[in-house]
Amino acid sequence: MASLPAPRTGSVCFGFADSFLLSIQVDDPTSDGILVMSRTTIQTPDAPAAIGTYSQAVRVGNTVYISGQIPLDPATMEVVSDEPVAQIDRVFANLAAICEASGGAINDIVSLRVLLTDLGNFPHVNEIMAKHMSEPYPARAAFEVSALPKGVGVEIEAIMDLGSSS
Cα–Cα distance for residue pair 6/142, rounded to 1 Å: 43
Model pLDDT, residue 37: 72
Question: Residue 162 CA to chain centroid, in angstroms?
Answer: 12
Determine, yes or no, domain membership for 69: yes
Determine, yes or no, domain membership for 21: no
Determine, yes or no, domain membership for 68: yes
Model pLDDT, residue 10: 46
Determine, yes or no, domain membership for 11: no
pTM: 0.78
Q: Which of 132, 124, 127, 130 is nearest to 154 (CA)?
A: 124
Model pLDDT, residue 4: 44
Domain coverage including residue 66:
44-161
Determine, yes or no, domain membership for 18: no
The predicted model gives 121-126 an average pLDDT of: 98
Determine, yes or no, domain membership for 19: no
Q: What CATH number is given to the structural domain containing 91?
A: 3.30.1330.40
Type of residue at 149: P
Counting Cβ atoms within 10 Å, is residue 10 exposed (0-12), middle (13-18) or buried (19+)?
A: exposed
Strand pairing report for 139-144 and 109-116: parallel
Model pLDDT, residue 68: 98
Determine, yes or no, domain membership for 17: no
Name the helix (H) or strand (E) containing 18. Answer: none
Q: Structural domain tally of the chain?
A: 1
Model pLDDT, residue 141: 97
Determine, yes or no, domain membership for 70: yes
pLDDT tens for 8-39 read 444 444 444 444 444 444 455 555 555 667 89
Cα–Cα distance for residue pair 54/58, rounded to 1 Å: 10
Model pLDDT, residue 164: 54
